[in-house]
Amino acid sequence: MERVGIMGGTFDPVHYGHLVTAEEARCEFRLEKVIFVPAGQPPHKTTSQISDPKHRYAMTRMAITTNPYFQISSLEMERGGISYAIDTIRQVTGLYPSAKIYFITGADAVLEILNWKNVEELLSLCYFIAATRPGYRLEGLKENIFYMEVPALAISSSEIRRRVREGKPIKYLLPEAVEDYINKHGLYRH
């Protein structure tokens, strides 16, 4: 049975922690591909808190080019409105009706899953891979939620944004093309 990973996140900006997470999940769960789906409008954030989806999509597209198993989808951005995972997973199961779907995202986000829209249906349609940095063990996860330690997740988007704002270097935290994009478009300076 085909296994497809859906990498859900705001990716503001995408960094090596995300890329390592996706690759680790691909290998550990034997996924044929991992599709990055930048959230259009994450349910728990306001538009003023996040960068324009077109920037986040462009940076993510650049970041994944060197991995033949990685793809990107604009389905959440195109759908418009709030990006509920249930709508994304329904769309994905329509595209891959016989595949096992794994939704990969940060453990902090997964810890809130019981508050997500249509959570029972969501958990019946896909597995979850909750990625966290070592030392943050998650207890009592539901049956189809897997936990994965990713040392590279010491890198975080908020830390990168803070460093740009403070004029500190972000080299080696994310792909060079993404760093160039941030500089060219003046992202995160304020």
Q: Of 54, 80, 114, 117, which one interacts with ligand NAP (CB under 6 A)?
A: 117
Q: Determine contact, residues 11/60, Cβ cutoff 8 Å.
A: yes
Which of these ranges, 5-13, 92-100, 162-170, 177-185, lies near ligand NAP under the rule CB under 6 A?
5-13
State the minimum distance, in angstroms, from the CB of residue 150 to ligand NAP.
7
Cβ atoms of residues 106 and 7 within 8 Å: no
Q: Which ranges of the chain does DSSP label H, i.e. alpha helix?
A: 16-28, 53-64, 75-79, 85-95, 107-110, 119-125, 157-165, 176-185
Write the burial class of residue 22 (CB in 10 Å: 0-12 exposed, 13-18 middle, 19+ buried). buried
> Which is nearer to ligand NAP, 1 or 11 (by Cβ)?
11
Residue 27 backbone phi and psi in degrees, to 5: -75, -45
Kindly state whether residue 116 participates in binding ligand NAP, applying the rule CB under 6 A: yes
* Residue 53: C-alpha distances to residues 33, 89, 163, 164 (Å): 23, 19, 21, 19
* Shortest distance in whole angstroms from residue 149 CB to ligand NAP: 11
Print the binding letters for residues 95-114 with ligand NAP: x by CB under 6 A, - otherwise. ---------xxx-xx-----
Per-residue contact track with ligand NAP, 22 to 61, x per CB under 6 A?
A: -----------------x--xxx-----------------
Binding residues (CB under 6 A) for ligand NAP: these are 7-10, 17-18, 21, 39, 42-44, 83-85, 104-106, 108-109, 116-117, 131, 153, 156-158
